[in-house]
Amino acid sequence: MSKQTYKVCFCCSRRFKLGVSEAPAEIKALYEKYSENGFMGAAQLQRFLIEVQKQDKSTEEEAQAIIDGLKHLTIFHHRGFNLEGFFKYLFSDSNPPLIPSNRVHHDMTAPLSHYFIYTGHNSYLTGNQLSSDCSDVPIIEALKRGVRVIELDIWPNAKKDNVDVLHGRTLTTPVELIRCLRSIKEFAFTASEYPVVITLEDHLTPDLQAKVAEMVTKTFGDVLYSPGSEGLKEFPSPESLKRRIIISTKPPKEYLEAKETKEKGDDSQKGKSSGDEEAWGKEVPSMKDGSIADYKNNVDEDVNDEEDPEEAYKNHQDVAPEYRSLIAIHAGKPKGGLDECLKVDPDKVRRLSLSEEQLEKAAITHGQQIVRFTQRNMLRVYPKGTRIDSSNYNPLIGWMHGAQMVAFNMQGYGRSLWLMHGMFKANGGCGYVKKPSFLLQTGPHNEVFDPRVKLPVKKTLKITVYMGEGWYNDFRPTHFDQFSPPDFYTRVGIAGVPADTIMKKTKAIEDSWLPTWNEEFEFPLAVPELALLRIEVHEYDMSEKDDFGGQTCLPVSEIREGIRAVPLCSSKGDKYNHVKLLMRFEFL
């Protein structure tokens, strides 16, 4: 057993045993139960997979393939697993917590409005919303991660003879539209074959709209989905739109000259955070009592509001018809209040955009109307204007009302974005997740799901956090503590409807790179279909802020029961090479 030395001062040092990863007592007991004569062969492993891992369709041939797949390690025996081999298997990448990735298993033949869609906001920005560079690089990264909705703000360039992408009336440096379009074409279907929607915020003159139409048509060719200018009576399905590009914007409007950039002053400080929040992002705002209890700055967000499409046409009768014909998903906000905005037209479908604050207020008074609207139409939710640091909001308020496009700043790393990553690990990571049936159904008296009604517990998720490993391989010895090994603890909990939302934590294990907690937690779930399991590991620090040790977020609907190896990710959502937890999941 090797040792690790930490210097305490010039003349003193402390030595700690590194230890080896050893199977917890429950794993040893299970091995004894399912092994014969000191080995677990294919028949015994199959029984374990069926009875403990709840993999009812496992065959003896599949169990043998698992054993054969790990025989390259010298600890394995031709007769099957010994205890060490069994433990290594449980803690390996061959034993993931979710339904195997790249396996689309939802029905993909329903209209687009029946799906949550992985949606970006200001997808071209490399950093903050005020002064960062605009580039195609974050667009490429988003597409590689599986994002299916890319937002581009299009403006005339400095000479007014071409089109740039930039965040208008800010200090952001532009990128040419054609560069963004070419990158979308190249990387659109790297992570998923399902359609990519480009939402355009249009600030162009008619001649430049015609130029955009030419660019889009030449760049995408037959890949572009163009149903014509009449609008759709019902959205097509993701299955029917595989490997297609869809344009969504409001009908063209009169070009408004850019106003002088407003004095930002104090606004530039609103997005700053400190301590834990700087490292991991703010704790996801609560939705208790029917509203989000954070970010209460009221700002005028009319800049991003959709305007009345009819008014837009009156303002610009000479709009380029070739540009108008590109729009497959029409966006617009009818005149009048929420009642008018949320009216469902049986003869056509459209997209409505609301800011996070507008949705929060609307949810209190018009919750069921929003649900009814989203059964046929698209609702896009976007971050409020004061999030100049590219932070995000709680996506659950949108999802529980059926909003398909909960638009996020993909460069705004933190807890809210981890939830977004978690949601779209579902359905093979294809970027489309079928909405729960209760959000799509209408009752015998024309009633729909009421997000504000407290529901009874449907099922309980029981979790055992056994242990963790891998930090010593992925981090410097003094990364967490200058004078000793780390003191890790795990936070586990649920993000979901308000009644389900909770966080708990284990005790901290002192001075160990191989923490063993062996702690159980139970989470009663009223709406498991929308629940996300949050897992975070931190290193306790008595004198300063706790250090970040990894995180992941898993859709509860896709968690596999049994003992599983749970890989952890960095704060940016990138999987660590070695860091993982050994956990058990049971549904009661």
Residue 297: partners with Cβ closer than 8 Å, 6 or more residues away: 270, 384, 386
Residue 399: partners with Cβ closer than 8 Å, 6 or more residues away: 116, 406, 423, 530
Report yes or no: 493 and 467 within 8 Å, Cβ to Cβ: no
DSSP 435: P
In angstroms, what CA-CA distances link 568 with 100, 112, 244, 448, 517? 16, 32, 33, 38, 17
Candidates 95, 142, 191; CA nearest to 567 is 95
Q: Which of 105, 114, 167, 203 is catalytic?
A: 167
Q: Which residue has the tokens 């279909």?
A: 529
d(CA 213, CA 325): 9
Helix (H, G, I), strand (E, B) or coil at 432: strand
Largest CA distance in the chain: 85
Report yes or no: 567 and 583 within 8 Å, Cβ to Cβ: no
Candidates 413, 418, 416, 393; CA nearest to 568 is 418
Catalytic annotation present for 105: no
Catalytic annotation present for 366: no
CB-based burial label for 493 (10 Å; 0-12, 13-18, 19+): buried
Q: Which of 121, 366, 421, 538 is catalytic?
A: 121
User: Starting at the edge strand that comes first in sequence, how are the strands of the sheet with 562-569 ordered?
Assistant: 502-505, 488-495, 532-539, 547-555, 562-569, 575-587, 459-469, 516-525
d(CA 550, CA 548): 6
Q: What does the CA dihedral 401, 407, 410, 413 come to, rounded to 10 degrees?
A: -40
Q: Which residue has the tokens 């440096």?
A: 173
What letters, b where the CB count within 10 A reaches 16 and e where it falls short, cover 107-134? Answer: ebebbbbbbbbbbbbbbbbbebbbebeb
Which residues are part of the catalytic machinery? 121, 167
